[in-house]
Amino acid sequence: MVASLVTAATAVSAAPNRAVFDHFEYTGNDARFTVAFDPAKQYLNPIVAGFWPDPSICRKGDDFYLVNSSFGYFPGVPIFHSRDLVNWTPLGHVLNRPSQLDLTGLRHSRGIYAPAIEYNPHNDTFYMITTSTDGVWNFLVKTKDPHSGVWSDPILLPEVFDIDPSMFFDDDGRAWIVHRTDPPLLRFPNHKQIVLREYDTERDCTIGPQIVLVEESLSWLPRPQYIEGPHIYKINGRYHLIAAEGGTWEQHAEVALTADNVRGPYKSNPVNPILTQRDLPEARPDKVTTTGHLDFIQDARGEWWGVFLACRPYEGDFYNTGRETFLLPVEWKDGYPVVLEKERAVPTVVNKNELYPGTGYPYLTGNFTWRDEFDAPRLDYEWMFIRTPRGEWWRQSGGKMTIDALPRSIYTLDNPAYLGRRQQHQVFEATTSLEFSPANSAQLAGMAYFQNERFCFVFGKTVVDGKVSVVLDRTENGVTKRIAVVPLPEREADVPLRMRISVDKGTGSFSFACPHHAGGTWHTVAEGVDVKNLSTHTAGGFVGATVGMYATCTSIPPLPEIVER
């Protein structure tokens, strides 16, 4: 039996097939973004919608730079540029070379955690420091010009343990790394410390002993959990430390401390937490939750702002869009920062001076239609790979995207032949056109709606019982069920197939059309499908859903693993 299976797998692998897509279109239509506002004086939250978590920000002169976590996707650490903190333009990715980021074999919610970007005026250099969880762990890269797209190879930081490092450059030119770590003695569940290490910018290494800044949790919760995501700032001669607490779910919040010396001791802000939504009623309009992981920036006018992550549930704690990037002004009261007073909801519309509407990338927030005709010289910024790509199994030319049907599965810890873009709306529609002629039931191509290797949908064209068919597979917690099969007439087996995924919050509809037959009428494969399996609440982990193009020539079953929360 084993020999037969190996022979069959070899036969499938020896006969590769190719899927050809001639466009991909994504349209988002959320009620939140239909609110009236003046883009010359106001902006909408989130400023970057969809799976763009753990924002960090820095400034050089009139230029602001923003980065986000990328976890198991490649390339890693998206980076943006702005002149007004609201209208952002992508500059590409900080980690855009395999030599910088190897995600081979990592679970999808591992990889790159919480990048922090800082500008050092003493040597005119930008630093991005982060954690490759389950990989090389903590490291930094640097560049003189973020617009160049070229950052150094990783500089490893073996003395920096755990996660969430960020950098601080003091007025005297000394550099510091602050991060979360485990204390030598756990005093309560999820007890963490915030610690400080000095960094030598000439030798690119840490120096001196580790200094404990925060030993006890500052949480207002009866059973405090985690303190993480720290940043240090020097403002009017005093040092301000902010950090997240409560875990990255509905208890998430931000706390602040101050000190007269960078080494401490740090005193807690009397109005902590300075940002949270946990104290608000469950039933509220335009609900936003999970606020935290804050980073401050001062603009040229002297005003302070904070970028932070938050979520937009469509029901209860269900959201498929992941953690998004929000922006709010920072107020100072008695020398302490406050972003939102207690029991204040995150506003959708915010007033701001000196906005430059129309200067940013139009596909980061609001309702829009994005379409890729595959006629550009290189892959569009939107597309992401699951883990570091092995080989070039995709080719873009002449208005076509060709993807090889590889013997790799989207259900494993491999690099499947999948190109995905972020889901940025609770309500969206994605369409494409596919040319694909499967020879057997292992060969499949079409679309995937993906959260991780154990929670996803595969909507494609394959062979079922000897007939070319359109199928829909739903995977939850590593168990896949084929919930729909539609055999195609022989005359339509090899013609181009239009495919459509429509999602309205927690419900999905999947349909196809053959443009050369039956007038191109859309045929429903399945409607009213529960897609809450792609919510972070169900799937665990830290990523949002993506939707894109997929091809395979293997029927490897999903990977059964423990849900990571």
- Can you read off the two tokens belonging to residue 33? 């973004």
ω into 515 cis (within 30 of 0): no
Catalytic residue among 84, 164, 228, 453: 228
Q: Are 355 and 37 a contacting pair, CB within 8 Å? A: no
User: What token pair was written down for 220?
Assistant: 């207002």
Task: Record the tokens describing residue 270, joined without a space.
Answer: 């009397």
Place of tokens 């982990």: 541
172 in catalytic set = no
Residue type, 552: T
- Euclidean distance between CA atoms 393 and 385, whole angstroms: 11
CA atoms of 324 and 244, how far apart (whole Å)? 16
Beta carbons within 10 angstroms of residue 482's beta carbon? 11
Give, rounded to a whole angstrom, the gap between the first and last alpha carbons of the chain.
39
Phi first, then psi: what are they for 335, rounded to 5°? 85, 5
Annotated active-site residue 54? The verdict is yes
Residue with token string 């999948």: 418
Cα 535 versus chain centre, distance: 13
For the chain, give the longest Cα–Cα distance: 78
Written as six digits, the tokens of 485 are 């099969």
- Neighbouring C-beta atoms of residue 356, cutoff 10 Å: 13
Using CA atoms, how far residue 459 sits from 29, 69, 177, 550, in Å, is 22, 28, 46, 9
Find, among 441, 447, 446, 435, the residue nearest to 495 by Cα.
435
State how beta strands 417-422 and 111-120 pair.
Answer: unpaired
Residue positions counted in the chain = 565
Q: Are 115 and 108 in contact (CB under 8 A)?
A: no
CB 268 within 8 A of CB 214: no
DSSP 143-210: ES-GGG---PPPEE-TT--SS--EEEE-TTS-EEEEEEE--SS--STT--EEEEEEEETTTTEEEEEE
CA contacts within 13 A on the Cβ side of 119? 17
5 DSSP 8-state letter: H
8 A C-beta contact, residue 339 and residue 68 = no
Q: Tell me which of 54, 164, 324, 476 is the catalytic residue.
A: 54
What Rg do the C-alpha atoms of the chain give, in angstroms? 24
Catalytic residue numbers? 54, 228
